Amino acid sequence: MTFLATACTIGDTGTSEPPTTTQAAPATIAVPAADGAPINPTTPIVVTATGGRLTTVTVTNPADAGAPVAGALAPDGTSWTSSAPLGYESTYTVVADAVNPDGAPVEQTFTVTTMTPGSTAYANVVPAPEVVADTGIGVGQPMVFQFTSPVANKAAVQERLHVTTTPPQPGAWYWTDDQNAHYRAANYWAPGTKIHVEADVFGVDLGDGVFGAENNAADYTVHDSWVAKADGASEVLTVFHNGVQETSMPMSLGSPDHPSHEGPHVVSDRQQSIIMDSCTYGVCAGDPDYYREKVDLNLRISNDGEFVHSAPWSVGDQGSSNVSHGCVNLAPANAQWMFDHFGIGDVVEITNSGGPVLPVWDTYGDWEVPWAEWQAGNATG
């Protein structure tokens, strides 16, 4: 008997299914500030990606010649944030590109608008830096930001005002009125001090619909200490340079009817010659006290008409009687010496004049305010 061998196959003889592939969903791009209420121009534009990463983001303002707004991607590519301030009343176009994990690209366009303020105000720095760039400022010069509109939100604004001094000299802000914020230390600045001031008020709500128009900053150097002490009892002006007596000279202060203000005064302006007219403060032609004179070698020490100046007409009274309308009268040669040595920020301290204390608002009555009271005037407490 013969047996035949046969081959056989053991196992599944059916057809196999091909493996399935799942595609990643497209990346999703979002701009929270888009198509909503207008934003403050200091608020950064943020672009985010989920389910992928951003590759490029471009933000432009068509009204600004399409100039791109600076910004940066996060290291992981999941967000982009603008780094430059925006502008008021502007419309920005945001074009963002992203890819998902499979590399599939997506691009979206968004629109972001910024607010329109009711009005804007500037923070002007005083003294103007260009005026004192070559000379520096005196030890008595307060730092001043003068706003072009009243500031209702003083505390919020003051938080954005900064002063840095080298070497450090702690100081404080004091609002002399609704538009002027003054900063000084407890004592006069040390000679050689470097002072940097900043008003970061762009986009800040000053109150009553007014917003900061732009930021401002300035740098100053304090020159040597020049302090003149005007004693109405002796009618002598004694000058100290860096704390050491330099010279003295006879003078005449305000008469009993027109006494000079008492206390430290700060030189705020220098004029070779000016016309002094009493009508500017209400004493006009026909009044026995009216005067209109060309006066030389003028150092302004208050805004209500007090100067250190040349007064050849009162030389006979200088050193013996106080006969002026409130100014510090000097002989021409002495006035020239003062004009040559004193500049913006230098100090004239008046005592024994019989007059009232110089008001804080009267450019500059800052040093008449006791330090504790000055600190209490700080809007942020």
What is the CATH number for 99? 2.60.40.3780
H-state helical runs in 165-294: none
Q: Is residue 309 part of a domain?
A: yes
Judge if 109 and 238 occupy the same domain.
no
The answer to whether 182 is a known catalytic residue is no
**Do 41 and 75 fall into the same domain?**
yes
In a domain? residue 211:
yes
- 267, 132 in Cβ contact below 8 A? no
Residues 272 and 174 in one domain: no
Known active-site residue 327: yes
Q: Which residues contact 156 (CB under 8 A, 6 or more apart)?
A: 204, 205
Name the catalytic one among 182, 261, 309, 325.
Answer: 309
Tokens of 221: 């150097």
- Residues 328 and 276 reside in one and the same domain: yes
Q: Residues 72-99: pLDDT tens digits?
A: 999 999 999 999 999 999 999 999 999 9
237 and 341 in one domain?
A: yes
* pLDDT tens string 123-171: 999 999 999 999 999 999 999 999 999 999 999 999 999 999 999 999 9
182, 223, 261, 327: the active-site residue: 327
d(CA 20, CA 267): 87
Asked which of 204, 223, 242 is the last residue of a domain, the reply is 223
Q: Name the domain boundary from 157, 190, 223.
A: 223
Of 182, 199, 223, the one marking the end of a domain is 223
Q: Are residues 305 and 239 in the same domain?
A: yes
Mode of pairing for the β-strands spanning 236-241 and 347-351: unpaired
Helix (H) or strand (E) holding 120: strand 119-121
Question: For residue 243, what are the domain limits?
Answer: 226-366
219 and 232 part of one domain: no
Closest alpha carbon to 116 in 35, 201, 45, 209: 209
How many CB atoms are closer than 10 A to CB 117?
19
Same domain as 177, residue 91: no
pLDDT per residue rounded down to tens, the chain (381 residues): 343 333 334 445 555 566 656 788 999 999 999 988 999 999 999 999 999 999 999 999 988 888 999 999 999 999 999 999 999 999 999 999 999 999 999 999 999 999 999 999 999 999 999 999 999 999 999 999 999 999 999 999 999 999 999 999 999 999 999 999 999 999 999 999 999 999 999 999 999 999 999 999 999 999 999 999 999 999 999 999 999 999 999 999 999 999 999 999 999 999 999 999 888 878 899 988 888 999 999 999 999 999 999 999 999 999 999 999 999 999 999 999 999 999 999 999 999 999 999 999 999 999 999 999 999 888 876
Count of domains observed in the chain? 3
Element (H, E) at 316: none
Same domain, 95 and 128: no
| DSSP conformation class of 368 | G
